Amino acid sequence: MSKRARREREIPEFADMVSRMIRAHGRRVADADPEDLGSLLELREELEQAIARAVWGQRSAGFSWSQIARGLGTTRQAAQQRYGIRPSSHPAGRASDYDGDLFAIAGR
């Protein structure tokens, strides 16, 4: 059970809509020029950043790495390795400012 009461949300419906939009964009790019493939790569980067922001939002809300790992479909150790660097350790500061660039935060 989570540490906070589960609120009714439209997460599944919203995710379904976004998935349909991404699939439609993929079909459009399939009929376009090779240069347009970059737009799909940009979407992939946006998704990675969104996942990182969501993980840190949940960590800030008190969820454990084990709970988050279950949501990600991975192990606690894998989740912590991938997202375990706190955005606040970056000079930019807050988790809400985090852009998903773990290597920049780690100073690599």
Residue boundaries of the structural domains of the chain = 11-106
Tell me what percent of the residues of the chain surpass a pLDDT of 70. Answer: 71
> Between the CA atoms of 8, 13, 19 and 20, what dihedral angle is there, to the nearest 10 degrees?
-170
Whether 85 contacts 102, CB under 8 Å: yes
Q: pTM of the entire structure?
A: 0.69
Question: Tens digit of pLDDT for each residue in 59-101?
Answer: 999 999 999 999 999 999 999 999 997 655 443 344 445 455 4
